Amino acid sequence: MTTFQRARSEEQREIRRQAILDTAATMLDEMPVGEVSLNELSRRVGLAKSNVLRYFESREAILLELLDSAWKRLMDELPGLLAAGIGPERAVRQRSDEFAAVFTRALAERRVLCDLLSAQAGVLEHNVSAAVAARYKRAAIGNVDALAGLARQYLPELGEGARLFSAQAFMMAGAVWTHARPSPGMLAAYDADPSLAALRMDFAATLQEMVATLIAGILTRTAS
């Protein structure tokens, strides 16, 4: 636990603000989003909860900032992953499948990002002011546009549908992540009745198939 003296300068305030973000990021490495509490964060960072709220208006505001940071790191790394994983001279079907595979693999390796994406609409976008919501949404639009640009590069056949693909692919990732993490009760039900196992999802396999299907659907609509 870090103990801070009162922050008197802008530099000291920024150091404290970054310490809050770093501590919350460490907690996300240890536990799911739903278990990250403001009380525990305050204890770990060495500040009263009221002082943490001087820097961020809510727990959700902190987590939205971490979501944007994790999302941007993915978008910084994805160009290199796509360049290594897609043959630009191949037929559109093969490029589509390769794009889906690279995108899915990159997300599957980023548990915290997937967990935050899955909590975005239902949890993180609540208990924040209009100013925080707008700032986050502007950043999210930038991340969606970055993926759309990559989609146009490797799948120019998508045309204007690239942005639709990008937005929906991230929504799919969050939804599939939630369903691929069943509760202990659901796991027990699957074990007790093997016929229910057909409803159990593997995150990577399910998302890759859904992303490939989304691309195919947009290509078909674009062509027609």
Backbone angles phi, psi at 222, to 5 degrees: -65, -40
State residue 219 phi and psi, 5-degree precision.
Answer: -60, -40
Q: Looking at the domain that runs over 58-223, which CATH code has it been given?
A: 1.10.357.10
Alpha-carbon distance 104 to 215, whole Å?
Answer: 13
The domain spans of the chain are: 1-56, 58-223
Q: Are 120 and 67 in contact, with CB atoms under 8 Å apart?
A: yes
Indicate the pTM of the whole model: 0.90
Q: Which of 71, 60, 68 is nearest to 38 (CA)?
A: 60
- In angstroms, the CA 209 to CA 97 distance is 9
Question: CATH for 1-56?
Answer: 1.10.10
How many other β-carbons are positioned within 10 Å of the β-carbon of residue 35? 10
Among 158, 159, 174, 141, which residue's Cα sits nearest to residue 212?
Answer: 158
Amino acid at 76: D
pLDDT (tens, 9 = 90+) of the chain, 224 residues, equals: 555 555 567 888 999 999 999 999 999 999 999 999 999 999 999 999 999 999 999 999 999 999 999 999 999 999 999 999 999 899 999 999 999 999 999 999 999 999 999 999 999 999 999 999 999 999 999 999 999 999 999 999 999 999 999 999 999 999 999 999 999 999 999 999 989 988 889 999 999 999 999 999 999 998 87
